[in-house]
Amino acid sequence: MNASEMVAATKGFLIDLDGTLYVGVELIPGASNFVHRLRERDLPHAFVTNITSRPRSEVLARIRQKGLEIDPDHVLTAPLATKGYLDRRSIGQCFFLTRPQLIEDFAGHPQSEDHAEAVVVGDMGNLITFQHLNTAFRLLLSGAHFVTMSRSRYFREPDGMSLDAGSFVQMLEYATGREAVTTGKPSGEFFQSALELIGLRADEVAMIGDDLESDVGGAQRVGLRGLLVLSGKTTEAPPTDADFRPDAVLGSVADLLTML
């Protein structure tokens, strides 16, 4: 099945944001038309992002500033998925390795360095220090739950690639001998939550993203098709011996316009 046939057989889409619809403040050419086409065709879709540097309110505001028309109820962020995970397990106080503004997405889970029931890792950018990491290390040794919103090692910014949360997670895993629970992409729980938003089965849906592991691999593991775009983190088609093989490789979402 070629890319056009596969898209024609797909009933709905999950769509990554950063690197797929935009990079930094710039929309990827054709992204706005692609989103408009989805709405015009009334195709079920949701936007799924592992952005852990900004709360959902800010993500939505930035999307609007770029001129994209997106239903706020169909945006699933890694912080919101993480809050759901904490709520279901009745976890209260947390130590957040995140930027301060992200705490607004975690109502009911106050920040604590002394009595945290969980260490929650996201993107702190250049705010992260040895003291932050060492506090997390000590809490984990004391038995706190270990939760990460993302396992991405790096991501693309306008001026180049930058370290992402997954790099610090792996350091803490090595130091503590423990494995973190992933609540954002590529976890199956995250994708199942996204499927519930659009009301379709996994085999009816394609995931579109720029991350071979988190977007394509994560989606394929739970039965979705994985479409890789080369407009963000990934800029070249993966080799034939890559761990994950996309169902299709596209230059950008603009290539989908003629297929919808």
70-76, Cβ contacts within 8 angstroms, sequence gap of 24 or more:
70/35, 73/197, 74/45, 74/46, 74/47, 74/197, 74/198, 75/46, 75/47, 75/48, 75/49, 76/46, 76/47, 76/48, 76/49, 76/190, 76/193, 76/194, 76/197
| Dihedral pair phi/psi, residue 121, rounded to 5° | -105, 130
Instruction: Scan for tokens 């060492």, then name that residue.
Output: 134
What integer pLDDT is reported at residue 158 of this predicted model? 78
What integer pLDDT is reported at residue 222 of this predicted model? 96
Residues in Cβ contact with 179 at an 8 Å cutoff, skipping those fewer than 6 apart? 146, 173
Distances (CA, A) of 198 to 72, 152, 223, 241: 13, 25, 15, 33
pLDDT in tens, the chain (260 residues): 788 888 889 999 999 999 999 998 889 999 999 999 999 999 999 999 988 889 999 999 989 998 888 888 889 999 999 999 999 999 999 999 999 999 999 999 999 999 999 999 999 988 999 999 999 999 999 999 999 998 888 877 778 888 888 899 999 999 999 999 999 999 998 999 999 999 999 999 999 999 999 999 999 999 999 999 999 989 999 888 888 899 999 999 999 998 98
What three-state secondary structure class fits 121?
Answer: strand
Contact 28, 21 (CB under 8 A): yes
